[in-house]
Structure 1
């Protein structure tokens, strides 16, 4: 099965390739994660295989391998279950891959939840049933190690202050200084009465799990001082070469939560809401990725050129792309937002719709060789749970400002 990138010359939505599709027997695929391995021109697409759409019915993590051909098409392998990515009597969830370029090791983080315990029950009882787990591969995902349960070594006694936690879902990132970052969030329990959390005091907060020694040991950073849930992170390099770690997190306040770290994820300062980034009432996971700011922007429209001098002399060497459903009330109309001034809270352009209709979780990847973006997303015609689809598009596709509306069609 191949997929040719959409040239989008007519403003149509990019071509989709269905990688995981809901089966007649009820088996559902959810929670996409995508990584592009530049050295081998390989995409790895991950998802949860569930016996029903319910979180409690997650069974296995699955993966498909995509080989990028010279003509830009992607040849996909059949789906395979990751048999080592599990713990006995637990269900694996939230795939979160990151590639360590020095040791050429691919890490796949995920959580394992005891039995069919729901997140809601963990929050109400204050009794965590989640474990932090990881498998690794030295051959680009062809073979995987046995699972490692990192809960005790990484989280330690802090776990007793968490009702539950998770990683991602989506991709991690390796910073220019070599540090590996896994986005995560935890439901912190500030007060207890008779061992139970005091109602309405437990809410999620984003944080990072990081490694300074190429994945040999891992540590947890400090949580954001604001309500923030499922998140992804991206490195921003400013015009003086300094690194800033950006966090974009799910929220229930009608807008996404953003924060910056000046110490590579140990601590995030001044979290705030992003007024340009729409969030549904109960929130939805979203994806963000950083990429080198272009020296020249092809086919940029007059309106964009009038936005300021950032196109010619940007304040950063990095731009951001963010992907999320754009409808204010429902998970539908998947949009891509561009930020050319990512160190400023109001730098987001209006979204470009790349899928009109039901849309859910997503994950972005960037191919620097072809200067192209790819994504996995939950989508469908009647429900976002119908399939997980892959598509590719260019920066020019995103920047083409429609004069009549914000859509790509």
Structure 2
């Protein structure tokens, strides 16, 4: 009998333990969902001998104003009410700014649903990117897959603008970022996890760039970082980024527009692109050769000639090859002469193919003596048109 009572008491105690699992539960209505984070240098100047403070803008969703379809709700800047609250705070470190933000909202900041982190230009040029990545990776709420984008200007200005299409700026920016798969004028979106790998490897790289024109967001081009000091060194425009993607084998969904010998314009929609890079040693210096092959179809032609004509197709292929060489040539020129930064991975190829040579010059590759800016880089291109386009012929007036 005593054993039976002891057994019952034991079962009851175990049941009580299991019922205490929600003692630290926070109701969803009490959470402040931070959908986007913008990080800048604080506007106030630092005192002598001190580092300049960090300014962070937290975009917190307002659930009551995120109504489902079928209900009346303002979207972006088209209505009177916003579906988000921006809280801007400053502090010596990013972690402190988050704590201060919790004193300015009835809901404590919660980062598990954060979609994008924006890095301001000044902050990036000062070399704070590694510190920011470290903070994000240490936070057990922020996901490693959150997208990181550099802003040309103030990052907070982007979050203070409005989208006519989405209720949250974070959703709008993330959608634009994901469009890299369709538009060959911005690099693939970069997660904080991949960013950390680039920084730890001390390799130069490019990431997506946002800039503002007339209070409208534009996501095009690239922000270029030098791996030796982890600082932003400058920008590549849309065309130069197109060349970057061709050189790095990441070209997807692009349209190459060129002029035929007659001066008529034609556009080839690229369906496939392949890049091969070889390196040889000449007089003690590495020399690089690219072979880029693109395959596509004629998407648009302003020519009066029949696109089914074999001679016409050959001319389209030759003009497309010239365009590939022009785009990549502009990119190489900007990286070597202006930015002096190897964002196309020539050093990585040299390290794999000639490790002994790389060990001797790696400290002076794209810093110090900057061997990268002195090496010879050549590009060969081959274009193949598989589908000439519509067979519908309309007589055009001359």
Q: What TM-score do you get using the length of structure 1 for normalisation?
A: 0.26
> RCO higher in 1 or 2 (8 Å CA, sep ≥ 6)?
1
Q: What TM-score do you get using the length of structure 2 for normalisation?
A: 0.27
Structure exhibiting the larger radius of gyration computed from Cα positions: 2
Bigger share in helix? 2
Bigger share in strand? 1
